[in-house]
């Protein structure tokens, strides 16, 4: 087979173009820090990348859910703490009013303070996270307590507000208001109990002031029980979030191993290919010699 100068030139140019193409690909990888720029570069890496990226996005959504869940439990815990302080204050002034040394005006002042604290507890019962009421069970768009001229009316719904904090795992983040605000000795709400205390302090009730000390103790115990429950939820969130953090690190590492370049190796490959390209250019310059036609142009 006769090898012509034209065949040699074409082969040299083809090989140099291939070398240029490889250097361009290496340069693109260094610029983007990714192994591939389009699925056709490596379909296997591309398919795995889609799966890993979906996994990372799913975990990031769970992380976002944890933020909202903590908002719920922290707001609930803060509200219950405020309620506990109000009840402790009511118990304190009830004990003082029961010692028999207060005159009518002083007892009336205690009744006025009970009235104010009762309204404060009503506002606590209507605590919200965003536009959702945290103590009204699953009926989060309706206020559980209504204040009217006739007094305070409380009607709490049941049900849990569940959030998905891991794949297939839903955790309730609310406390049903009935646990803290309802279920008194006679099935009364805390507002009915305080109404009765206020009336007794004003001399309008049939009971004794001292009878309400135990009532307040029982109500405080209910609030402390609700706080213990929300504390247990907080501890569970801590453990679950730590697990999700670890899963996020692992998922991102796996995705990085699949998609990201090994920079040191890539630089070495680029330098090697650059040296090969220079050698090919020098060899090509020697192989492609001027012909008579070049001088006749």
Alpha carbon distance 259, 49 (integer Å): 7
Quick one: pLDDT at residue 235?
Answer: 92
Indicate whether this model's pTM tops 0.75: no
pLDDT in tens, 219-267: 999 999 999 999 999 999 999 888 888 888 888 788 777 776 666 776 7
pLDDT of residue 193: 92
Instruction: Give the pair of three-digit tokens for residue 125.
Output: 């019962």
Distance between CA 129 and CA 143 in Å, rounded?
12
More confident residue, 135 or 26: 135
Top-confidence residue, 157 or 296: 157
- Tokens 């103790």 locate to 217
Name the CATH code of domain 53-254 (choices 1.10.3720.10, 1.20.1330.10, 3.40.190.10, 3.30.450.20): 1.20.1330.10
> 3-state DSSP helix/strand/coil percent for the chain, to nearest 5?
70, 10, 25
pLDDT digits (tens, 9 = 90+) for 201-212: 988 877 788 889
pLDDT tens-digit map of 116-128? 999 999 999 999 9
Are 169 and 247 contacting, i.e. CB atoms less than 8 angstroms apart? no
What does the alpha-carbon distance between residue 188 and residue 181 come to, in Å, rounded to a whole number?
Answer: 9
Domain boundaries, given as residue ranges, for the chain: 53-254, 262-297
By percentage, how much of the chain surpasses pLDDT 70?
80
Q: What's the chain's average pLDDT?
A: 83
Q: How confident is the model at residue 132 (pLDDT cuts 50, 70, 90)?
A: very high
Q: Is 126 helix (H, G, I), strand (E, B) or coil?
A: coil
Does 167 have pLDDT greater than 90? no
**CA dihedral for 204, 207, 213, 219, sign (positive or negative):** negative
pLDDT value, residue 223? 94
Query: Residue 294 above 60 pLDDT?
Result: no
pLDDT confidence of 5, banded at 50, 70, 90? low
| Cα–Cα distances in angstroms (integers) from residue 122 to residues 13, 136, 142, 183, 292, in the given order | 86, 13, 14, 16, 104
């Amino acid at each position: 087979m006769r090898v012509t100068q034209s065949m040699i030139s074409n082969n040299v140019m083809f090989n140099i173009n291939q070398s240029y193409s490889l250097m361009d690909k290496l340069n693109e990888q260094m610029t983007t820090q990714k192994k591939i720029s389009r699925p056709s570069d490596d379909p296997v890496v591309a398919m795995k990348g889609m799966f890993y990226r979906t996994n990372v996005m799913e975990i990031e959504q769970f992380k976002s859910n944890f933020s909202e869940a903590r908002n719920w439990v922290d707001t609930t815990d803060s509200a219950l703490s405020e309620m506990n302080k109000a009840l402790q204050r009511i118990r304190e002034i009830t004990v003082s009013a029961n010692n028999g040394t207060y005159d009518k005006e002083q007892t009336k002042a205690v009744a006025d303070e009970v009235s104010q604290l009762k309204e404060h507890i009503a506002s606590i019962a209507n605590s919200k996270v965003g536009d959702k009421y945290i103590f009204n069970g699953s009926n989060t768009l309706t206020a559980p307590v209504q204040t009217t001229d006739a007094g305070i009316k409380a009607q709490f719904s049941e049900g849990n507000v569940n959030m998905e904090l891991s794949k297939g795992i839903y955790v309730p983040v609310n406390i049903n208001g009935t646990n803290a605000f309802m279920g008194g000795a006679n099935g009364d709400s805390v507002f009915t109990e305080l109404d009765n205390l206020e009336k007794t302090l004003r001399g309008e009730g049939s009971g004794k002031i001292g009878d309400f000390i135990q009532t307040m103790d029982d109500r405080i115990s209910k609030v402390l029980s609700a706080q213990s429950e929300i504390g247990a939820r907080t501890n569970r969130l801590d453990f679950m979030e730590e697990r999700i953090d670890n899963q996020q690190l692992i998922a991102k590492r796996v995705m990085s191993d699949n998609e990201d370049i090994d920079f040191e190796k890539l630089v070495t490959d680029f330098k090697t290919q650059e040296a090969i390209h220079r050698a090919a250019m020098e060899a090509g310059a020697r192989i492609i010699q001027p012909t008579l036609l070049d001088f006749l142009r």
